[in-house]
Amino acid sequence: MNRKTTKKNPILIALFLILMLASCNLPQKQAAPSEEDVATAVAQTLTAEPVLPLTTDEPLLPSSTPAPDEPTITPTEQVPPTETPTPTITPTNIPDDPASALGAPIWERDMVNGTAFGIGPEGYEDENTRIYMESGVMVLESASSLGYRGWRLTSPTPQNMYLQATFNTPSCSGKDLYGLVFRAKDYSSGQGYYFGITCSGQYNLSRWDGNGTTTLIDSKPGEVILSGAGKTNRIGVLANGNNLKLYANGKLLEEIQDSGLPNGGHIGVFLAGSSGNLKVELDHMAYWNLQ
C-alpha cells in the first residue's frame, strides 16, 4: 500500500516559532517598588559598577574664582514624596520665616533612617567624605582640608518651593562649609545650586552648570548664623522662578535673581571641609510647594 506523504511548509513553521517567542516576552504588570527595594537596588548598582570614578574631584576653593569641581559622592534613590495637600499661600505674602506661614510641608524627613537618601546601615565612605546614620541624625564628615565638595541627594524634584534643613555642628571651624543643594540636574553630574554657611558665620551661593561653578554670592557675614562647633542652624531657600531668597534661623539673609538653571530639580545636602575635621549632622529636612 502506498502512503501519502505530507510536506511541511518551512515558512509557516518559522512564522509559528517567531510568534511563540514573541509571546514569551510580552510585558507583565509589576508592583511599584518600595523605598527599601529602591535603596537596595541603588546599593547593588554602585557595588556592581566599581569603574565609576566616585572620588575624581577637584577642590572647591574658598575664593570668588569658579572651581572646576567634580562630585565626591554619587547618590541616591527614588522615593515618592509624602502625599500632603499642597499649600495655597502665595510667595509675596511670606514673612521672614516661611516655615511659620506655609503650614504642613509637602515632604519632610526626620532622620530616623537613611532610606530617603539611600544610606543603609553600612553608610558611605571614600577618601574625602563619610556619611552614616547615628542616633536619629544623618552624619556627614569631611577629612578634606582642600574644600572637596561632597553631596547627597534625594528623589523629589520640586519647582517653586521653600526648602529647609536643620544642621548640628559637633565639629567645625573657620571656612568649613555645609548647606543645601537644590535644582540639581541629576544624581551624578553635580550641577545645581549650592547654598552654604560656614563655621565662621558666613554664607554664600554658587551655581554649578555645564560651564563649571559660578559664584553668585561670595562669602558674606550673616549675623543670625550661629558660628563655631556645638551649634544648631536652620537654613532655607525660597526658590520661585528666577527669584532666590536665602534664610538662616528664620531670618532673610539675601534675595537675588538668577536664571542660570531650569526651574525644578533634586534637593539634598552638601559639605566642603577646609579644616580636615568637619562633622555636621542633618537633623530634619522639609519642603513646601508655592503657588
Is 179 within a domain? yes
Number of domains in the chain: 1
Is 13 within a domain? no
Handedness of CA 45, 49, 50, 56 (dihedral sign): negative
In the numeric block, the cell 551661593 is attached to 205
Compute the half-sphere exposure of residue 251: CA atoms within 13 Å on the CB side of its CA. 9
Is 221 within a domain? yes
- What per-residue string of b and e applies to 232-241 under the rule 16 or more CB within 10 Å gives b? ebbbbbbbbe
Is 23 within a domain? no
Is 27 within a domain? no
Handedness of CA 80, 85, 91, 96 (dihedral sign): negative
Q: What is the pLDDT along the chain (291 residues), one digit of tens a residue?
A: 444 444 555 545 444 444 443 333 333 334 444 444 444 344 333 323 222 222 223 333 332 223 333 333 333 333 333 343 444 445 555 668 999 999 999 999 999 999 999 999 999 999 899 999 999 999 999 999 999 999 999 999 999 999 999 999 999 999 999 999 999 999 999 999 999 999 999 999 999 999 999 999 999 999 999 999 999 999 999 999 999 999 999 999 999 999 999 999 999 999 999 999 999 999 999 999 997
207: containing domain: 35-61+68-289
Is 258 within a domain? yes
What is the model's pLDDT at position 9?
57
- Return d(Cα 257, Cα 240) in angstroms, integer: 10
CATH code for position 196: 2.60.120.560
Is 25 within a domain? no
Asked if residue 42 lies in contact with residue 54, where contact means CB atoms within 8 angstroms, the answer is: no
What value, to the nearest 5°, has the Cα angle with vertex 249 and ends 243 and 251?
50
Helix (H, G, I), strand (E, B) or coil at 109: strand
- Return d(Cα 29, Cα 188) in angstroms, integer: 30
Phi, psi values for residue 116, rounded to 5°: -65, -20
- Return d(Cα 26, Cα 14) in angstroms, integer: 19
- Rounded to two decimals, the pTM is 0.71
Is 130 within a domain? yes
What is the model's pLDDT at position 93?
54
Extended strands (E) in 120-276: 124-125, 129-134, 137-142, 149-154, 161-171, 177-184, 192-198, 202-209, 212-221, 231-240, 243-248, 251-257, 266-272
